[in-house]
């Protein structure tokens, strides 16, 4: 069970309210069916919304990469809630580092950077794009979109997109709107 002191620490770190933390803890426990105190990839893949999402596997991967748990493929509640904090709407009156615009962009970037080398290559972008659109476009159209996207975003012409180039390309995108989930109080 969560102690009040721990709830206060989590609230200060993530910006979630006490009620939200308690609800998220309850959700965490329901996902941890074996009562191990951690979640693994299989626990996440049982979430119906992720199971049907074409990017579900990338979203799950981002949970483990963000927490540095990629080597053991487990995350505890504190790691779980830190990742979820990226999806809190921005609060201009109470800014929080975890869900800042830059951190939201960093999280989104990590979903495209498949090999985690700090760059999005044409092949990585094509792979993600193919996951999103599947058989709705031809391979030639997929190549064309990937080429155009990389060319437009690749300011230094090295054939790949760095995080800085990604941020520049996303300047006009309302990332807060696109990467926010309403958490009930």
pLDDT digits (tens, 9 = 90+) for 62-118: 778 766 655 568 899 999 998 888 888 776 666 667 778 888 899 889 889 988 899
Predicted pLDDT at 93: 67
Predicted TM-score of the model (pTM): 0.78
Predicted pLDDT at 151: 94
What is the percentage of the chain residues whose pLDDT exceeds 90?
47
8-state DSSP, 135: G
Q: What is the pLDDT of residues 127-161, one digit of tens each?
A: 999 888 877 889 999 999 999 999 999 999 999 99
- Alpha helix stretches (DSSP H) within the chain: 4-14, 18-31, 41-45, 48-52, 56-66, 77-85, 101-112, 122-133, 139-153, 163-169, 175-178
Residues 60 and 86: their CA atoms lie apart, in Å, by 14
**Domains plus CATH for the chain?**
8-85 (1.10.238.10), 101-175 (1.10.238.10)
Q: What is the pLDDT of residues 87-99, one digit of tens each?
A: 887 766 666 677 7
pLDDT surpasses 70 at 185: no
Q: What is the pLDDT of residues 8-56, one digit of tens each?
A: 999 988 889 999 999 999 999 999 988 999 999 889 888 888 888 888 8
End-to-end CA distance of the chain: 19
């Amino acid at each position: 069970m969560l102690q009040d002191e721990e709830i206060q620490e989590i609230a200060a770190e993530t910006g979630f309210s006490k009620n939200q933390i308690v609800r998220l803890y309850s959700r965490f426990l329901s996902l941890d069916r074996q009562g191990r105190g951690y979640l693994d990839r299989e626990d996440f893949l049982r979430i119906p919304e992720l199971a049907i999402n074409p990017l579900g596997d990338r979203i799950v991967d981002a949970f483990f990469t963000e927490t540095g748990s990629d080597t053991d493929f487990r995350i505890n509640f504190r790691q779980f809630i830190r990742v979820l904090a990226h999806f809190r709407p921005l609060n201009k009156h109470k800014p929080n580092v975890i869900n800042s615009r830059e951190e939201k962009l960093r999280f989104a970037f990590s979903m495209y950077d498949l090999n985690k080398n700090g760059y999005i290559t044409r092949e990585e972008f094509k792979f993600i794009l193919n996951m999103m659109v599947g058989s709705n476009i031809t391979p030639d159209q997929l190549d064309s979109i990937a080429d155009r996207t990389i060319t437009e975003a690749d300011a230094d012409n090295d054939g790949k997109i760095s995080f800085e180039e990604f941020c520049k390309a996303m300047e006009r995108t309302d990332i807060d709107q696109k990467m926010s989930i309403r958490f009930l109080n």
